[in-house]
Chains A and B, each alone.
Chain A
Amino acid sequence: MDILIQQVISGLATGGIYGSVALALVMIYQATDVVNYAQGEMAMFSTYLAWTMINAGLPYWLAFFGTLVLSFVGGVLIERIVIRPVEGAPILTIVIVCIGLLVILNSVAGWIYSYIQKPFPSPFPARPIKIGNVVFGAHDVGAIAVTLIVLALLYVFFRFTTLGLAMRAAAQNPASSRLCGIRVGWMLAIGWGLAALVGAVAGMMVAPIVFLDPNMMAGILIYAFASATLGGFTSPGGAVLGGLIVGVIENIVGTYVSFIGTELKLTVALALILVVLVFKPSGLFGRVAVHRV
């Protein structure tokens, strides 16, 4: 029983990270109908920026917030420079551009920082938290808290601010938004910026667990796809919840189903994507997209 609780908590911690990346995917998908395959590599690159700042002697939280700012700006620039020119192009073109971005970010990170794994610090104490017989990693609990704070802030932003409302409007109905005076192009760019920021948080929270290297987000992106598919690509809340479910399932299956262990965990995510797509393609909370043709 203790092991189960422990596995659930650590599943929630990684699940929150999957959920964050899934949320970043969903934010961009809803605004532009594009699945950003480079989301994971953007997060990885952000994490390297944080690592650079921490290594230069900056306090952790200063580096953390500095990374968020840089990631936001980076996301906006990527939209303006790379995505904008192919806006309105066939979906396949945009997919290829995203994959190109993925390869470029991965190679540039490898070129600058090498492919050797680097330890990444956790801002939380190394000493585990013990309640009764159950031992929690402090980083797991901290990561869950950080993720929840980020999600709450995003919710408040989209729900209650005029800019957030304008961004939702621009995603739903660009033509009408322009008639309201909303600069739709900039809303998309800000969306990319925010997605990059959320990804950066996920990267910095997962790096202490998986170690920092240019390929660290590859697996996580697949879990994030599974999360977004499970929760529904049209539902931000669903994507986050999907992430938590995937994280917990992954951990429990890895612990209790002996032939899966750690080696086949990723397969569980892929199998989950398959099952969801076959039985409920819109995901648990997604809407079926209706297009008038």
Chain B
Amino acid sequence: MAALLAARGLTAQYGWTRVLHGVDFAVEAGGITTILGANGAGKTTTLRAVCGMVRTAGEIVFDGRSIAGRATEDLVRLGIAHVPEGRGTFVNLTVEENLRLGAYGRNRRDGLADGFESVYAYFPVLASRKRQLAGTLSGGEQQMLAVARGLMLRPRLLLLDEPSLGLAPLVVREIFRIVRTINRERGVSVLLVEQNASMALSLADHAYLMETGRMVQSGPAAQLRQNDAIRRAYLGY
């Protein structure tokens, strides 16, 4: 399979502090790729670098064209939906308005109703709360809303930044199940950043391991699960 997204020698810095030191990775078209790593390894920054939210150098290719240095707003229009760390909920807007904003970067406005329907089919709880202010949702519901907002774009690539953060295990499992369904049914490629390594490895086809701004290991997810060092450090058994 061809890579939908590929980065080579990606570096990123906040002010004078460099946090990515030449990162290489690829996301297969139609696949789920995960980046694992401890706090501060640079996982979130990698996603932010892809989306042009941080100063970067290096090569990023999406669907055959270079996107390095492009503005975030333009990348959205190419079909990259980024569900950010902390969910990025518009807390003072209703659930439905949040979803409408998700579709803002979509080129054609024709199928908005259809977009709502399919998103509500994945996340029925959002349908029952559509007139409610998003800030009144529970953490799990807000995470669902964040994923749903991303889906409203009808993305080709979905970037998920720690969707499990602060959520109960059952809710996490539910969200991961939906992500897998979306991936299978709609062919949306997924790049998932996670600290919850066992959940991420069970979902992904391919995995990368990140340490202090570098990729230190990569391979099929099933294979990384068997790796002793990773098992001890990240899976805890």
Q: Which chain A residues have a beta carbon within 8 Å of chain B's beta carbons?
A: 162, 165-166, 168-169, 172-173, 175-183
Q: Check B233 for interface membership: any CB of A closer than 8 A.
A: no
Q: Are B93 and A176 in contact (CB under 8 A)?
A: no
Give Cα A168 to B151, complex, Å. Answer: 21
Q: Check B24 for interface membership: any CB of A closer than 8 A.
A: no
Q: Check B42 for interface membership: any CB of A closer than 8 A.
A: no
Give Cα A172 to B81, complex, Å. Answer: 20
Give Cα A190 to B84, complex, Å. Answer: 26
Proximity string of chain B (61-79) to chain A, C-beta cutoff 8 Å, 1 when within and 0 when not: 0000000000011001100
Closest to A184 in B: B73
Q: Are A176 and B90 in contact (CB under 8 A)?
A: yes
Could you jot down 14 A-B contacts, CB within 8 Å? A162-B104, A165-B97, A166-B101, A169-B93, A173-B90, A178-B53, A178-B73, A179-B81, A179-B82, A180-B101, A180-B102, A181-B77, A181-B104, A181-B105
Q: Are A179 and B72 in contact (CB under 8 A)?
A: yes
Give Cα A166 to B101, complex, Å. Answer: 7
Proximity string of chain B (10-25) to chain A, C-beta cutoff 8 Å, 1 when within and 0 when not: 0000000000000000
CB-CB under 8 A for A180 and B84, given A169-B90, A172-B90, A172-B92:
no
How many interface contacts (CB-CB < 8 Å) are there between A and B?
58
CB-CB under 8 A for A166 and B104, given A172-B93, A176-B84:
yes
Q: Check B89 for interface membership: any CB of A closer than 8 A.
A: yes
Residues facing A in B91-144 (CB within 8 A) are 91-93, 97, 100-102, 104-106
Give Cα A177 to B89, complex, Å. Answer: 10
Contact partner of A175 among B84, B93, B97, B153, CB < 8 A?
Answer: B84
CB-CB under 8 A for A181 and B84, given A165-B100, A166-B101, A169-B101:
no
Give Cα A258 to B101, complex, Å. Answer: 55
Closest to B72 in A: A178
Closest to A176 in B: B88
Give Cα A169 to B90, complex, Å. Answer: 7
Interface majority SS (helix, strand, loop, mixed), chain A: helix
Q: Check B156 for interface membership: any CB of A closer than 8 A.
A: no
Give Cα A181 to B97, complex, Å. Answer: 15
The interface residues of chain B lying within 8 Å CB-to-CB of A182 are: 73, 101, 104-105
Give Cα A180 to B75, complex, Å. Answer: 10
CB-CB under 8 A for A173 and B104, given A168-B93, A178-B72, A183-B73:
no
Q: Are B100 and A179 in contact (CB under 8 A)?
A: no
The interface residues of chain B lying within 8 Å CB-to-CB of A172 are: 90-93
Listed residue (B53, B72, B82, B106) with the most chain A CB atoms within 10 angstroms of its CB? B72
Give Cα A181 to B76, complex, Å. Answer: 5
Give Cα A169 to B100, complex, Å. Answer: 11
Q: Are A165 and B73 in contact (CB under 8 A)?
A: no
Give Cα A168 to B81, complex, Å. Answer: 20
Give Cα A128 to B211, complex, Å. Answer: 79
Q: Are A180 and B93 in contact (CB under 8 A)?
A: no
Q: Are A179 and B104 in contact (CB under 8 A)?
A: no
Q: Are A179 and B92 in contact (CB under 8 A)?
A: no
Nearest Cβ on chain A to B153's Cβ, whole angstroms: 8
The interface residues of chain A lying within 8 Å CB-to-CB of B154 are: none
Closest to A234 in B: B92
Give Cα A172 to B101, complex, Å. Answer: 13
Listed residue (B76, B77, B104) with the most chain A CB atoms within 10 angstroms of its CB? B104
Q: Check B149 for interface membership: any CB of A closer than 8 A.
A: yes
Top-7 shortest CB links A-B? A181-B105, A181-B76, A176-B88, A178-B72, A180-B101, A180-B104, A179-B82
